[in-house]
Structure 1
C-alpha cells in the first residue's frame, strides 16, 4: 500500500471518530432505581412521561447533529477539506440523553417493583 492510500485511510479514520453518534448508538447510563423507591405510582408515571418527552426531543436533535456531521465529513473528504472543521462530534446532549435513558429504565424497574400499571414508552 502506498503512502497516499495509507494517509487517506488514516485521515478517514480520524475524521470518522470525531463524528457525532446516532441516538441508537449511545449507551444507556446506569441509574439506580433506589432513588425512586419513595415515589408513588402516580408520581412515577408523571416523571416517566416528562423524561420520555425530553428523550424524544434529544433523540431528534442528536440524530440531526449526526446527519450533519456525516454530510460535512463526506463533503470534506471528497470536495473541500476545510468542511472537516465543522464536525461537532458528540455534544453535551448525548450525555444528557444517556443519563435520561438510564433514569427511565430505573423508573421502569421501580414501577415494576411497586406493581404499578404504567404505560409510558421511552422517547
Structure 2
C-alpha cells in the first residue's frame, strides 16, 4: 500500500511538471484600450507581428511539450532520472498566453473602429500547430 502511494505521488509530481501544448493554454487578458490610439493600418501591422511571434513561440512550446511527454514516457518505462530532462525545456506558456490576449485585444479594437480587414487576414489563424515531420527513410542498398 505504501509503495503504491509513493508511486502515485511520484507520477502526479512528474505529470504536473509537463509543458502544456498550445491548445491547452488560455489567453491572458489584455485590454483593447491599450490599442485605442492605433490607426486601422497600425492595428493590421500589430496583428501580423503578433501572429509571427505566436508562430515562433508556439512552435517552441509545442516542441517542448513533445519533449516533456517523451521524457515522461521514458520515466514511466525506464527510471526516475529521466524526469530531470523536463527541467531542460523552457515553458513559454505565459508568453503564448499574453500573445493570445494581445491578438484578441487587437481584433476587438479593429472591430470597434470598424476597420476593414481583408479576407485573408480575417481568416488567418492565430496559431496553427506545425505538422509532425515523418523521418526520412534512406533507400536500401541492394
Structures share a fold, TM > 0.5?
yes
Q: In 2, are the aligned partners of 1:19 and 1:90 still within 8 Å (CA)?
A: no
Kindly provide the CA deviation profile for residues 42-74 of structure 1, in whole angstroms up to 9, marking residues without a partner as x.
110011001011111111110110110111111
Q: Could you tell me which residue of structure 2 aligns to residue 71 of structure 1?
A: 70
Q: Distance in 2 between matches of 1:90 and 1:104?
A: 25
The gaps in structure 2 that reach 5 residues or longer are 128-142
Write the distance in 2 (CA, Å) between the matches of 1:89 and 1:35: 35
1:18-97 aligned at under 5 Å gives the runs 18-88=17-87, 91=90, 93-97=92-96
Q: CA RMSD in A?
A: 1.6
Larger relative contact order (Cα-Cα within 8 Å, sequence gap ≥ 6) = 1
Cα distance in 2 for partners of 1:66, 1:92 equals 8
* Structure 1 gaps, min length 5: none
Post-superposition offset of 1:88: 2.9
Distance 1:92 1:11, change over 3 A: closer
1:90 Cα deviation after fit: 7.4
SS at match of 1:87: helix
**In proportion to residue count, which structure has more helix?**
1
